[in-house]
Structure formats: C-alpha cells, structure tokens
Amino acid sequence: MLFFSGFSLAREEYLFDEYLKKSDYTVSGFSYGAIKAFDNVRQQLASLKRVDTLQLISPAFFQTKDSKFKRMQILAYSKNERAYMNQFMNSCFEPYEKKIVEHRNTSKEELDELLNYEWDLEELQKLVDKGVKIEVYLGEMDKIIDVEAAREFFLQVATVTYIKEANHFLQTN
C-alpha cells in the first residue's frame, strides 16, 4: 500500500487503520495527500502498472469555495504560519481530542495547490473504466472541507463512506 500524507503531516496513516486496505495494489491519501494519491494512480496506470483501489480519505475539496475564501487562507498563512497551522490542526480534530501527529515543513505553494485543486470527474471516470475501485471516506462533522459537495461529487464515480459525527481525521465520539 502506498499512502500520501495530508498538508503539513507525516506518517498519520495510523489514524485510519480501520479503513485502509493494505495491499500492494492500493494507493491511499488523506486530505491534501488524496490529491497526490490520485495523481500518482494516473501516472502508474499510464505506465501500465497495476492499481486496484484508490482510497481518498477526507479529500481536499475546495472547488465550491469562492476566490475570496482562498485568498484569505493564503493571506492568513503568509501573515503568521504558526498561528494558521495551529488553528488548522485544531479545526481538523474538532470537536474531539487532538491526537499526536507528526508534522513536516509546509509551503504557501502547497496550500495554494490544495485550495485551488479542481477534481476532474472525467479523469476519475477513466480510472474506474480501467478497473480501479475508488473509495472515498468523509466525516459528517469535518470543519475543513465542503463535505456535502464532496459527497455529491464523488458519488458519481466512487463508493462513498459517510461517517456520522466524524471529523476531518474520521474520529468519532
């Protein structure tokens, strides 16, 4: 299994053990890492490598947010990266207890990429047509992404697991 981490994170996959399919032919990604996982699967299939399952856990989905929201996020990050990241992590875990996660350095360019990424339904469908099963996991109480819009969008090409009372890290009470 290949796993791609979320924005500013490293080795957080332990939080998703109950959902991850541990197979040599599975690619998984959490939040920003879901974008990277999707891109990786497209590259692997282009080079005729086998992929059976693409797992997108709380995929970064901001294409319904307006440009003002995105500019404000970039501005807040640029103004005080530490304060932005603290607020971001708190929002990820809300309303439950914060767990230990390993952090890595981030960049404004990464934040810009995840905020402005446009999921392409046709490209996702191409994966499905090539035999890749797409699984999406969403938390009802996720304060980071537009959960309802993501659910509606991904239901067109994927099996969507909607977890009641779960946050961005899929924690429940």
* CATH T-level assignment (fold) for domain 2-163: Rossmann fold (3.40.50)
155: left (phi over 0), alpha (psi -120 to 50) or beta: alpha
* pLDDT tens, per residue, the chain with 173 residues: 899 999 999 999 999 999 999 999 999 999 999 999 999 999 988 887 889 999 999 999 999 999 999 999 999 999 999 999 999 999 999 999 888 899 999 999 999 999 999 999 999 999 999 999 999 999 999 999 999 999 999 999 999 999 999 999 999 98
> Which 8-state DSSP code applies to residue 6?
P
Class of residue 162 by CB neighbours under 10 A (exposed 0-12, middle 13-18, buried 19+): middle
Q: Domain limits of the chain?
A: 2-163
H-state helical runs in 47-171: 67-79, 81-93, 108-116, 121-129, 147-154
